Amino acid sequence: MGSSVTTSVVRAEAETGSHLFMILGYSITKGIGIDKYICSDVFTIGGYDWVIRFYPDGKRIENKDFISFYLELKSTATDVKARYTFTILKQDGLPSDISFESQISTFRSTSETHYVASGCPTFKKRSEFESSKYLKDDAFTIQCTVTILKRTNILQATTPYGVTIIPSNLNQHLVRLLESGQESDVTLVVKGERFKAHRLVLAARSPVFNAELFGCMSEKWKDTITVDDIEPLAFKSMLYFIYSDSLPEFEVNSDTDANDAEKQDLKLMAQHLLVAADRYDLERLKLMCEDFLHKNLDVNTVASTLILAERHNCNQLKAQCLRFMSSPGILKAVAPTDAFHLLMKSFPSILKDI
């Protein structure tokens, strides 16, 4: 009697987001009592609402010498699996060495609307935290990053007859088409660099390209089109996105081992790419750039990023920049920079929002 073997491959999908919780007037919070907490504003990650609990006098009697932080689920839900980190930020907005990372925790709420919170009761000894350089002007900022396991998708499976179903690789074929230049019918010249592409692909992905190439003012019969106001590296990355719907360059972020110069180059590239995405009406790419810039804000880039957000109607990114600069310590560090002076000159009314 014959036998058959079936196989399957699954990929876990997750969604990650961060929230900054700024505590101003820290000394006033001390003495509220053990197991008494101060809540952050509600924020949404992965479709669920969350808050951060800050316990200035500790979560339990045995933790009375520590400050404690907990993450609380505010949505009515069951079995929400998440991993989270709490990190005190330096005055320049970068992560400090005071941090806690959880294992995967399961959050659930009951019909009595009791919400489960998970956290670290011994986050940092109070005396050590108060003597650290991260508490300045009686204020500090903690960043909570939450990664939620959304679902698992079957990538590959075999039927009982042993036929393997491989995952889609359409984007790989299209990228190879772009890289090979095979059957390309238009060349785009960007500050001297030449990029071969396919009119139909460009037009299908971008309404602006569609109008330029096939509209009444089209350059349909021109073999070469000059693009003047985009950096070549940003244009190359935009073309890659048009063909693949992804950006491998953005896999590197501030949590990796990239050095400071590499991180700054990535942030600059993201700014240029956001401008290109806005020009060619590539909304998904524009939002990807906004998300990257939001997650990598620091004292050196927040003002220039806010200028960019104002000029290109990036309301979510603008709100995050303003929230980041609302800390007196961070604003004091940003104010002397050239980018901040340009911000005040270009958009003087924005000061009232900070």
Average pLDDT, the chain: 84
Q: Would you state the pLDDT for residue 166? A: 67
Q: Average of pLDDT values for 245-259?
A: 56
Q: Would you state the pLDDT for residue 104? A: 86
pLDDT band at residue 119 under the 50/70/90 scheme: very high
- Please report, for the domain that includes residue 149, its CATH number: 2.60.210.10
Tell me the two tokens of residue 309: 């957000």
CB 138 within 8 A of CB 27: yes
pLDDT, greater one: 88 or 159: 88
- The rounded distance, in Å, linking the Cα atoms of 180 and 322 is 44
Give the lowest-confidence range in 2-16, 246-260, 269-283.
246-260
pLDDT, greater one: 111 or 241: 241
pLDDT band at residue 157 under the 50/70/90 scheme: low
Q: Would you state the pLDDT for residue 255? A: 42
Percent residues over pLDDT 90 in the chain = 42
CB 173 within 8 A of CB 201: no
Q: Would you state the pLDDT for residue 158? A: 55
- The rounded distance, in Å, linking the Cα atoms of 195 and 24 is 51
Indicate if the pLDDT at residue 236 is higher than 80.
yes
pLDDT, greater one: 246 or 8: 246
E strands within 136-185? Answer: 139-158, 164-165
Q: Is 152 helix (H, G, I), strand (E, B) or coil?
A: strand
Q: What Å distances lie between residue 245 and 231, 277, 286, CA to CA? A: 20, 12, 12
pLDDT band at residue 253 under the 50/70/90 scheme: very low
Tell me the two tokens of residue 82: 């998440």
Q: 42 lies in a domain?
A: yes
Q: Would you state the pLDDT for residue 143? A: 94
Q: Average of pLDDT values for 59-84?
A: 90
18-39: burial string, b at 16+ Cβ within 10 Å, e else: bbbbbbeebeebeeeeeeebee
Q: 84 lies in a domain?
A: yes
- Which residues lie closer than 8 Å to 212 by C-beta, 6 or more apart? 218, 219, 225
The tens digit of pLDDT for each residue in 177-190 reads 998 888 998 999 99
Q: Would you state the pLDDT for residue 159? A: 54
Q: Would you state the pLDDT for residue 156? A: 54
Q: 263 lies in a domain?
A: no
pLDDT band at residue 308 under the 50/70/90 scheme: very high
CB 333 within 8 A of CB 92: yes
Q: Which amino acid is at 239?
A: L
pLDDT band at residue 110 under the 50/70/90 scheme: low
Indicate if the pLDDT at residue 354 is higher than 80.
no
Q: 204 lies in a domain?
A: no
Q: 44 lies in a domain?
A: yes
Q: 55 lies in a domain?
A: yes
Q: Would you state the pLDDT for residue 11? A: 63
The terminus-to-terminus CA distance of the chain in angstroms comes to: 76
- The rounded distance, in Å, linking the Cα atoms of 125 and 141 is 17
List the Cα angle 277/278/283 in 5-degree steps.
70
Q: 61 lies in a domain?
A: yes
Q: Would you state the pLDDT for residue 266? A: 83
The 10 Å Cβ neighbour count of residue 264 is 15
List the Cα angle 195/196/200 in 5-degree steps.
125
How many domains does the chain divide into?
1
CA nearest 77: which of 103, 44, 101, 121?
44
Q: Would you state the pLDDT for residue 256? A: 43
Nearest 10 degrees: Cα torsion 246, 248, 249, 250: 60
List the Cα angle 213/215/216 in 5-degree steps.
125
Tell me the two tokens of residue 133: 């350089």
Indicate if the pLDDT at residue 160 is higher than 60.
no
- The rounded distance, in Å, linking the Cα atoms of 135 and 131 is 8
Q: 57 lies in a domain?
A: yes
DSSP 8-class letter at 179:
H
Q: What are phi and psi of 289, to 5 degrees?
A: -65, -45
**23 lies in which domain range?**
11-153
Q: Would you state the pLDDT for residue 251? A: 47
Residue 138 CB-density burial (10 A; 0-12 exposed, 13-18 middle, 19+ buried) = middle
